[in-house]
């Protein structure tokens, strides 16, 4: 494949019209998405994705320094895709006290994290008030750290349990310190598939509606797609198109993260793990279809640092972060480390010929000294 100014040699003739659209900056259709998912010509798909990636984000690859906090793994849902959630009476289940959440947040703080990524199970007793106190306590102790908290699924459950409208629930959490939402829980919007992999979760329409309201009250969020289980190529494209449509309306999505299904320790463990080819393809197709979402994240925890590094040449412009103490993927058999040092991330980026840019959650550049950081605005 040549650089952006040269014509690539396309092995699959079906990609000719897609290339023309990509070069002209035109939107791709549902059928184009299906073609991109079916062609074996991964280099041409990557060439096109890289073109778009460099058009939007230049040579930069973003990363951040963050810590994951999972206050509880108790969950009323029993999603077949999940190895993390437990029933309250399970002796291995845990729920942190507020002090434990604050203490966990402080561990390793010497790295000066800029973001806490906070998600957990659907706990039958924790209230909106409890979560507000948790957020306020975090803000008091770590005023500079951005709180990216709660999936659309958690928001919907909290709203329903406290009989409070979604908008008001979001506004209360926002006022207490929640500054944006992560992208989890979207899984795949197809009802047929959702009934099998996560039948206790809100449906795709509700996930999109909570995201819409979050964006309307001024909160940015991420979005995800879980692939590599029982979904079809059409289900994947349908999912991407639905995200693109909502983004046309709200402009609230910052980053899309394709998440490969990890079957270990789940009721779906008979399903084979995804391949490197599929992981790379999902990054590239997302970059091409989601023309209105600024960033595509290659989440190294999920796709391994090796594949995430290559993904930077196939459409990805973000490697997520140092991710101290990841639990959801490791409970499902991820063999990657639970955290990466800042220097290791820099090496993964520089070796791919990209320019590393440390960012905060909203992609403002961060300048740091040994012990602290400044967000450049």
CA distances in angstroms from 185 to 151, 153, 224, listed in the order given? 6, 6, 8
CB of 279 closer than 8 Å to CB of 264: no
Least Å distance, CB 111 to ligand V47, is 18
Pairing of β 373-375 and β 366-368: antiparallel
CB nearest ligand V47: which residue?
Answer: 184
Q: Is there a contact between 44 and 38 (Cβ–Cβ < 8 Å)? A: no
Residue closer to ligand V47 (CB basis): 90 or 140: 90
Give me the least distance between CB of 265 and ligand V47, in Å please.
8
Task: Please identify, using beta-carbon distances, which residue of 151 and 169 lies nearer to ligand V47.
Answer: 151
Tell the smallest beta-carbon distance from residue 237 to ligand V47 (Å): 18
Length of the chain: 377
> Which DSSP string corresponds to 101-167?
HHHHHHTTGGG--SEEEE-----SS--HHHHHHHHHHHHHH-TTSEEEE--HHHHHHHHHHTT--HH
DSSP string, 47-112: HHHHHHHHHHHTTEEEEE-EEEE--B-B-S---TT-SS-B-TT-TT--B--HHHHHHHHHTTGGG-
Minimum separation from the CB atom of position 225 to ligand V47 (A)? 8
Min separation Cβ 2 and ligand V47, Å: 33
Starting at the earlier edge strand, list the strands of the sheet with 253-260.
66-69, 115-118, 146-149, 180-181, 220-227, 253-260, 295-296
If the CB atoms of residues 226 and 237 are measured against ligand V47, the closer one turns out to be 226
Chain positions contacting ligand V47, by CB under 6 A: 81-83, 151, 182-185, 187, 222, 224, 226, 257, 259, 261-262, 266, 299, 320, 328, 332
Residue closer to ligand V47 (CB basis): 166 or 328: 328
CB of 31 to ligand V47, least distance (A): 27
Question: How near is the Cβ of 298 to ligand V47 at its closest, in Å?
Answer: 11
User: CB–CB of 307/240 below 8 Å?
Assistant: no
Q: Helix, strand or coil for residue 297?
A: strand
For ligand V47, give the closer residue by CB, 47 or 256: 256
Of 210, 208, 209, 188, the residue nearest 199 (C-alpha): 188
Q: Which is nearer to ligand V47, 254 or 284 (CB)?
A: 254
Residue (211 or 284) nearer to ligand V47, CB = 211
Helix (H, G, I), strand (E, B), or coil: what is residue 7? Answer: coil
R_g (Cα) of the chain, nearest Å: 20
Is the CB of 18 or the CB of 83 nearer to ligand V47?
83
Question: In the bound complex, what is the minimum distance in angstroms from residue 339's beta carbon to ligand V47?
Answer: 13
């Amino acid at each position: 494949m040549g650089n952006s100014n040269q014509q690539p040699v396309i092995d699959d003739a079906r990609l000719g019209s897609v290339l023309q659209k990509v070069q002209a900056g035109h939107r791709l259709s549902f059928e184009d998405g299906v073609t991109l998912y079916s062609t074996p010509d991964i280099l041409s798909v990557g060439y096109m994705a890289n073109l778009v990636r460099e058009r939007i984000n230049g040579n930069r690859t973003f990363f951040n320094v963050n810590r994951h906090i999972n206050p509880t793994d108790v969950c009323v849902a029993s999603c077949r895709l999940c190895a993390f959630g437990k029933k309250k009476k399970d002796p291995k289940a845990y729920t942190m006290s507020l002090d434990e959440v604050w203490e966990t947040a402080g561990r390793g703080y010497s790295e000066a994290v800029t973001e806490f990524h906070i998600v957990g199970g659907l706990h039958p007793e924790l209230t909106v008030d409890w979560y507000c106190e948790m957020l306020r306590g975090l803000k008091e102790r770590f005023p500079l750290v951005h709180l990216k908290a709660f999936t659309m699924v958690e928001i919907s459950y909290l709203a329903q349990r406290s009989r409070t409208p979604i908008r008001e629930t979001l506004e209360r959490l926002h006022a207490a310190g929640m500054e944006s939402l992560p992208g989890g829980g979207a899984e795949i919007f197809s009802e047929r598939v959702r009934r099998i992999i996560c039948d206790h979760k809100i449906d795709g329409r509700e996930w999109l509606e909570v995201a819409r309201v979050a964006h309307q009250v001024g909160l940015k969020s991420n979005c995800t797609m879980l692939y590599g289980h029982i979904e079809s190529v059409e289900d994947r494209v349908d999912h991407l198109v639905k995200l693109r449509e909502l983004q046309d309306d709200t402009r609230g999505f910052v980053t899309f993260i394709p998440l490969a299904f990890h079957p270990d320790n789940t009721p779906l463990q008979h399903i084979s793990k995804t391949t490197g080819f599929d992981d790379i393809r999902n990054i590239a197709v997302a970059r091409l279809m989601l023309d209105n979402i600024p960033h595509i994240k290659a989440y190294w925890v999920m796709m391994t640092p090796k594949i995430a590094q290559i993904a930077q040449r196939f459409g990805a412009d973000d490697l997520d972060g140092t991710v101290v103490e990841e639990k959801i993927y490791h409970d499902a058999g991820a063999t990657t480390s639970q955290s990466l040092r800042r220097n290791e991330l820099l090496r993964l980026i520089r070796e791919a010929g990209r320019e590393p840019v440390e960012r905060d959650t909203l992609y403002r550049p961060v300048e740091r000294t040994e012990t602290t950081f400044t967000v450049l605005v």
